[in-house]
Amino acid sequence: MNDLTIGIGGAAGDGIDKSSETLAKSAARSGLYAYSFNSYQSVIRGGHIWLRLRIGQEKVYSQGDHLNALIALNQDSIERHAPEVESGGAILFNADKLKMNIPVRDNVLTVPLPIGKLLKPLGTVPPVVQNTVALGASMFLAGLEFEAIASVLTDTFSHKSQAIIDQNVGAAKAGYEYARENFVPLGYQWKFSHKRRPYITGNQAFSMGAVAGGCRFYSAYPMTPASGILTWMAEHAEQCGVVVKQMEDELAVANVAIGAGYAGVRSMCATSGGGFALMTEAIGLAGMIEAPVVFVEVQRGGPSTGIPTKTEQADLNQVYGASQGDFPRIIIAPRDPKDCFDSAVESFNLAEKYQCPVILISDLQLSEHPETIEPEDLTSNVPIDRGEIVTSWNEATQGRFKRYKLTKSGISPRTLPGTAETLYVAPSDEHDEEGVLISDVFCNQSLRRKVNERRMKKLDLALRDMPAPKIEGPANADVTLIGWGGTAGVIKEAVAELNASGVRANQLHFKYLLPFHAAEATATLKGCKRTIGVEMNSTGQFMRLLRAETGHAVSDHILKYDGEPFEPAQIAARVRDIIAGKPLSLDVTENEAREIAYHYVRVHLNEEVRPGKISKAAANGRGEAVWQIEVVHRETAAKQGELLVGVETGSTYSWQPVN
Amino acid sequence: MATIVELPIQGYESVVDPDWCPGCGDFAVLKSVKMAAAKAGVAPKDLVIVSGIGCSSNLPGFIHSYGVHSLHGRSIAVATGVRLANTDLKVVITGGDGDGYGIGIGHFIHAMRRNLDLTYVVMDNQIYGLTTGQASPTTDAGQITKSTPNGNVEMPINPLALAIVSGATYVARAFAGDPTQMADLIAGGLQHKGFALIDAFSPCVTYNKVNTYAFFKKRCYKLEDDKGYNNRDAGVALERSHEWGERIPIGLLYQHDKPTYESSEAVLRKGPLTKADMRLDEKVFQSLVEELI
């Protein structure tokens, strides 16, 4: 056993994220790998929050599809997730408040923690310290080192008093000792290398890559899931010498970044789909005046306000088509947090070298989930290439400066305001080599053609700076999974699972989306036997692009657009079904029906009840089969009524209380 | 205070001639901007003129300086970026009433409350000229235009009142019929530390047959001639900003000394961003990494 997934369930405001971070950093300090994903709702307090933290001896690439331990912070979390805990696992909860009221699998350890008693020696503590007791207990059960969590808690509270540090370390110790005295560990045998690995989100990596890469201006308007970049930048602004400007809207955000880029500062802004829609016109301006700016688009579930705290990859069409007219733009879709760091560095060099907007497209999962990376992945010693900047000019000997000179490479010499004798106006109108408008009095046809051609030519050159995608995994596979951006890790794990189960599979993952490696991709795809497009949207946006660029139509699609990220087993199972010719069922599953029922009873009924037995029944005059969900009393399990949910439509038909 | 060395106006001459209609008020504004820059001693290479879209927004092309002829309504945002990137530059924004008080009004208000050191010259002709004569945000109620054939039913914006309540620290109004006064007011704005608005009546001789040179000549009076007027009093200025009809005030309506955004931004106290080291200090970087462990 070298792979452990711990689930933490509770309500918003319970401190779930912070608890997970403490646990993950503790494992990481011991030299293990960690990856977590928090499935949260768009509420500040309440709702059901479900976080999974996966710890591995080797690198883990997703939150996985297992559950080995559950830390339940409320009764709902026990009922919803305890049955998922696999044999050999454990369920930890506060015995003062919560009860095991639901059957669990065989050989699952129930760990009721007498939190009040354990915390009593520590005096009055804030409620969140209760979580720390459970963390301590889980450290023991998982075979992790107590010293690691003690050091993490000490560092976390180092800015507070010694009393606070003692309280937290004491709470963890109490939990650890209680578990040691009363339970046997779950049997995980770890090899601790004690290589201290950074535990980093995509948004943190974007931010750190940006400041290492010379970004000194950042603008934003708060929007989930891009706000993490704003928060990081604001916190570290002074330390890193970055002017961080929250603007009144995304129109301003994009344009202020363009102004800064034009004036010669490496500038970046970030947003999600809705904010990016407002930035659209400005992206064309950056393309037209050839101002270097980096835009980060962190996708969330759309359309419109959509599902703001859920993940999706459905903004590809938007970033591709953003703004009117033809102009060069570069679109990069990093695959993991390490790649977010590298891509941020790279994007500033590309933006200045090719004097065009660069769009980094991420998604909620990639931007917000933390994972361990190697310490050497983060370095301040990064390449900085500002491209061609003219710093002095002599008009008498060199002639008038041409900011938009027609060159063979497509790149014109750039100059920054303040430089003598290179004065020019950067116009959004079409313009000649000196920046003089050709749009108004004489729309010079040949000149218009030439300047348009010159601008677009920059992309041919830019493509040479980017490595082409390559097949990952075994050659001569029977099936190739194609993806882009943040799903690289989960597809990698699905491929491994398929190969382990006898399906010869590999993957082809795309990072550079524009310019596109059409020739290389076409050649690679010719060698693929069967291709399946895997992406998080409902229409296969990337596969359509792939077809446009290469003529290759994927054999099948695996599309997910329910807001939750892919799990490796889901992908692998669907691949097997596709190979077996099994059609995809779009029906509401039993688990989904239970979740619908949970939400229903919490909103319309009370805290005393929960969904019980679920069975599928025939149409009963409703034109579709239905899920019959018994609602039972939490304590007595006595039936209180029945809820019907359509299997095909997902519609909630009726609530029938028992008389 | 640094001594101001006036510069020759010839230094601002562009190779491009304006393509405005003969008689357009914008010619006077262009001349005034050049005079003001020369008077305030802002060298062409250190001057960045940012405009939006519209007849008047073509102005940066007609003056020898750096500039961005940006998007409709976004000039203030672009100018904010230029200014924050390089505080050694003087940044002037030029544009029309539609650009600034219509599509760009959000940025206008926020830039004023920030008190950025920007000088904003609005060529206010109370009409959309480049699109051939539709009602603008400053078109008078009742006026017939292409988009209001039965008379404009909306109240016009009062840019001066808006500026005073939004935190602008230099609020003036000029008239294209008096380019010398206009140049003085713009120069005053350039020298003022903070956000300066100069709302310049710049008659559209083609599409606005109401707010003509004659209309303003008859009504405008200079605030400097009103000896009792105190332009340091926001209440007095706000009251005077509503004067419209038979008498319309021009001149410096309001001025107030307040720290600029730039002076309050800790990072900028170390000097312009364009001169900052692009390499991050290794110690700083390592402390960022340490936060993640």
Average pLDDT, chain A: 96
* Confidence class for position A1, pLDDT limits 50, 70, 90: low
Kindly list the residues from chain B whose CB atom is less than 8 angstroms away from the CB atom of residue A421.
45
For strand A652-657 and strand A357-363, is the pairing parallel, antiparallel, or unpaired? unpaired
Q: What is the pLDDT of residues A171-206, one digit of tens each?
A: 999 999 999 999 999 999 999 999 999 999 999 999
Which of A40, A515, A44, A513 lies closest to A300, judged by CA? A40
Q: What are phi and psi of B50, to 5 degrees?
A: -115, 130
The chain A residue lying nearest B77, using CA atoms, is A256
Per-position DSSP letters for A506-558, written without gaps between them:
EEEEE-EEES--HHHHHHHHHT-SSEEEEESSSS-HHHHHHHHHH-PPPSEEE
Kindly list the residues from chain B whose CB atom is less than 8 angstroms away from the CB atom of residue A243.
84, 265, 267-268, 273
Is the Cβ–Cβ distance between B104 and B74 less than 8 Å? yes
Domain boundaries A3-182, CATH class:
alpha beta
Which of B32, B76, B84, B99 lies closest to B268, judged by CA? B84
Specify whether domain B18-290 bears CATH 3.40.50.970: yes
Interface test with B, best of A265, A289, A352, A385 (most B CBs within 10 A): A265
Domain boundaries, chain B: 18-290
The strand ranges marked E within A435-527 are 471-472, 479-484, 505-510, 512-514
CA dist., res. A579 & res. A568, Å (int): 17
Structure confidence at residue B2 (pLDDT): 66
Q: What is the pLDDT of residues A13-67, one digit of tens each?
A: 899 999 999 999 999 999 999 999 999 887 777 788 999 999 999 999 999 999 9
| Contact status of A214 with chain B (Cβ, < 8 Å) | yes
Res A331 pLDDT > 80: yes
Nearest beta carbon to residue B106 from set A249, A265, A379: A249
Which token pair is A224? 């989930």
Res B103 pLDDT > 80: yes
Which token pair is B100? 């600034």
Kindly list the residues from chain B whose CB atom is less than 8 angstroms away from the CB atom of residue A199.
292-293
Specify whether domain A471-579 bears CATH 3.40.50.920: yes
Q: In what order do the strands lie in the sheet with B47-51?
A: A425-427, B66-69, B47-51, B90-96, B119-124, B196-201, B170-175, B248-255, B220-222
Structure confidence at residue A24 (pLDDT): 98
Structure confidence at residue A520 (pLDDT): 98
Mean pLDDT confidence for A485-491: 98
Handedness of CA A313, A314, A319, A321 (dihedral sign): positive
Report the complex ipTM.
Answer: 0.98
Q: What is the pLDDT of residues A550-583, one digit of tens each?
A: 999 999 999 999 999 999 999 999 999 999 999 9
Structure confidence at residue A464 (pLDDT): 97
Interface test with B, best of A428, A433, A434 (most B CBs within 10 A): A428
Is the Cβ–Cβ distance between B120 and B36 less than 8 Å? no
For strand A414-415 and strand A389-390, is the pairing parallel, antiparallel, or unpaired? parallel
Q: What is the 3-state secondary structure (H, E, C) of A188-245?
A: CCCCCCCCCCCEEEHHHHHHHHHHHCCEEEEEECCCCCCHHHHHHHHHHHHHHCCEEE
Determine the distance from the C-alpha atom of residue B200 to the mean position of all C-alpha atoms in its chain, rounded to a whole number. 9
Helix %, strand %, coil % for chain B, to 5? 40, 15, 45
Whether residues A285 and B280 touch (CB distance < 8 A) is answered with no
Largest CA distance in chain B: 73
Count CB atoms within 10 A of the CB of residue A343.
Answer: 27
| Contact status of A27 with chain B (Cβ, < 8 Å) | no
Q: What is the pLDDT of residues A145-161, one digit of tens each?
A: 999 999 999 999 999 99
Which of A465, A469, A461 lies closest to A521, judged by CA? A469
Is the Cβ–Cβ distance between A28 and A199 less than 8 Å? yes
CA distance B269 to chain A (A): 10
CA dist., res. A213 & res. A3, Å (int): 35
Kindly list the residues from chain A whose CB atom is less than 8 angstroms away from the CB atom of residue B19.
440-441
Mean pLDDT confidence for A74-82: 95
Q: What are phi and psi of A400, to 5 degrees?
A: -65, 140
Q: What are phi and psi of A610, to 5 degrees?
A: -150, 160
Kindly list the residues from chain A whose CB atom is less than 8 angstroms away from the CB atom of residue B293.
25, 28-29, 196-199, 375
Structure confidence at residue A42 (pLDDT): 77
Structure confidence at residue A44 (pLDDT): 77
Res B1 pLDDT > 60: no
Structure confidence at residue A439 (pLDDT): 86
Residue B74 CB contacts under 8 Å (≥ 6 apart), including other chains: A251, A252, A255, A281, A282, A285, B52, B104, B107
Kindly list the residues from chain A whose CB atom is less than 8 angstroms away from the CB atom of residue B59.
none
Nearest beta carbon to residue B69 from set A282, A379, A425: A425
Let me know the angle formed at the C-alpha of B42 by B36 and B47, rounded to the nearest 5 degrees.
100
Determine the distance from the C-alpha atom of residue A463 to the mean position of all C-alpha atoms in its chain, rounded to a whole number. 26
Helices (H) then strands (E): counts for chain B: 10, 8
- Architecture of the domain spanning A199-377: 3-Layer(aba) Sandwich (3.40)
| Contact status of A126 with chain B (Cβ, < 8 Å) | no
